[in-house]
Amino acid sequence: MKTNEAVEEFLTFLVTEKGDRLTTIKAYQIDLEEFTKFVSNKPAEGLNSADMNDFLFSLQSKGMKNATLIRKSMAIKGLYKFLKGEGIIKITLSDLQSPKKEKHLPDILTIEEINLLLRQPDLQTAKGILDLAMMEVTFSCGLRVSELIELRMDKINTKSGYLRVLGKGNKERIIPINKEALRVVSYYQEEVRSHIETKSMKLFLHENGREVSRQYFFIELKKYVKMANINKNVSPHTLRHCFATQLLENGAQLRLVKELLGHADIETTQIYTHLSKKKQQEEYEKSMRRN
């Protein structure tokens, strides 16, 4: 059996047995046809880990993006796993090394930019009060956008100054909420939330009682960033990044930041140490500028 015949059987398997989407199968087909050409359509029985590694290296040397290399490696791994299951090749799947996903440091905002951003909503409107409260809580508590929109009325304790958040894996964590955020949330509750007729226990709702969506918050935040003339790529997650970076820059221990963010692994939290160093470097360069 030649490699191209093995690819055809694999693609048929994806359709008939796994029920994969046609777009996925088409992408696999294109990637595997390219791989087949690279190995000169050799007998499928002779395919090995070196073939895959050499193929990916050749593409990498041509400047192919890492995300594309990862996609192609997944297609080849799928083919190899299928052929091993059929008894056509003998290979240790753990020997197949995929390119690692690149980690890019996200943009962070300075305190001045944060304050400028928070001054943009129109507090003469219910919508503006809602938007400010959502931005303030996201930044002050480091919430994921999914946690923000699911936050319940009974999970925020304005007297004690903390809120309970249900994060990933249905794990609840307690997060302090500062005085400024409490003031804004209390104002939202008095001026907007208390006048909404609804049975919903969610804290953040539109004036008509409709639930706030992720898309709404994303779009509104982008609008306020533009109004503030902040030329950075800002999303709701940026405010979470800013929360973590501010904590670290002011002496908080990495493990505390991990707990507040709800990370399962401290390695995930360590990216914020790089963000903090990046900001320190920028401040240093600014201070040492001679012209």
Residues catalogued as catalytic: 144, 168, 237, 240, 263, 272
What kind and span of H or E run contains 164? Answer: strand 162-166
Q: Which of 124, 237, 225, 137 is nearest to 177 (CA)?
A: 137
DSSP 205: B
SS (H, E, C) 74-139: HHHHHHHHHHHHCCCCCCCHHHCCCCCCCCCCCCCCCHHHHHHHHCCCCCCCHHHHHHHHHHHHHH
The half-sphere exposure of 238 on its side-chain side, counting CA atoms within 13 A, is 20
CA 194 to CA 200: how far, in whole Å?
Answer: 12
SS (H, E, C) 135-153: HHHHHHHCCCHHHHHHCEH
